Amino acid sequence: MADASVKEHLPTPLDATSNPPPIFDGTTRLYTCYTCPFAQRVWITRNYKGLQEKIKLVPINLQNRPAWYKEKVYPENKVPALEHNGKVIGESLDLIKYVDINFEGPSLLPNDPAKKAFAEELVAYSDTFNKTVFTSFKGDPVKEAGPAFDHLEKALHKFDDGPFFLGQFSAVDIVYIPFVERFQIFLLDALKYDITAGRPKLAKWIEELNKIDAYKPTKTDPKELVEFYKARFAAQQ
């Protein structure tokens, strides 16, 4: 298994001027974008399972996308997408499961039925969580996003055999962290709102995730993120 603590060389994103890779040559490829939180979920999954050598990262420049990506790889024209066994599949939540089931490495879901059921519940809530927080950026985040962070704080109390949603690290943490990471940076910078204040479990969860080697290299550049969100949310007002 690849050692997640060894720093991986990250390839340069492909753009409209780049040739396609030799698609369907038997190589497993994760088409990604280093700044995309959905793609980050699958990137963390790959790293955690030690699949750095089995699943090749193919970063795409989404601002200047190569035409072949939509035409030959993934008609939805989004990232993430995984090329594996002669097909391309997408959707980050499906891909976490797919990579977990179809590849070697530590399992990302426990066998305990109570934990499994809670995992489903939390994964089902993730879209609502993300939408609630993103929408609050245009209104009053403390009032509107506060209850969503409280929901996570409460969920983190459910299992006390570790600091993660299911006690031990799992797919659920991977589903949430790319978004929570961005929300924490942006809300602190733009509004001086600290999402961890008064939420000790959430604070501990973030602290413990920051120790996970599979996650560290996938983290977004805070400065770039703040600029990107400022431009994006200002443009919508």
Ligand X SMILES: N[C@@H](CCC(=O)N[C@@H](CS)C(=O)NCC(=O)O)C(=O)O
Task: Enumerate binding residues for ligand X (CB under 6 A).
Answer: 33, 36, 38, 62, 77-80, 90-93
Instruction: Give the residue with the Cβ less far from ligand X, 170 or 196.
Output: 170
Minimum distance between the CB of residue 76 and ligand X, rounded to whole angstroms? Answer: 8
Minimum distance between the CB of residue 210 and ligand X, rounded to whole angstroms? Answer: 22
Sheet containing strand 55-59, strands side by side: 55-59, 28-32, 81-84, 87-90
Write the DSSP assignment of 146-197 as a string of letters. HHHHHHHHHHTTS--SSSBTBBB--HHHHHHHHHHHHHHHHHHHHH---TTT
- The answer to whether the CB of 58 falls within 8 A of the CB of 11 is yes
Identify the sign of the CA torsion 125, 126, 129, 130: negative
Write the DSSP assignment of 37-57 as a string of letters. HHHHHHHHHHHHTT-TTTEEE
Instruction: Give the residue with the Cβ less far from ligand X, 62 or 188.
Output: 62
- The answer to whether the CB of 90 falls within 8 A of the CB of 140 is no
Instruction: Give the residue with the Cβ less far from ligand X, 66 or 90.
Output: 90
Instruction: Give the residue with the Cβ less far from ligand X, 138 or 232.
Output: 232
- Nearest alpha-carbon partner for 186 in 120, 174, 117, 178: 178
Minimum distance between the CB of residue 37 and ligand X, rounded to whole angstroms? Answer: 6
Instruction: Give the residue with the Cβ less far from ligand X, 196 or 218.
Output: 218
Minimum distance between the CB of residue 205 and ligand X, rounded to whole angstroms? Answer: 21
Minimum distance between the CB of residue 80 and ligand X, rounded to whole angstroms? Answer: 6
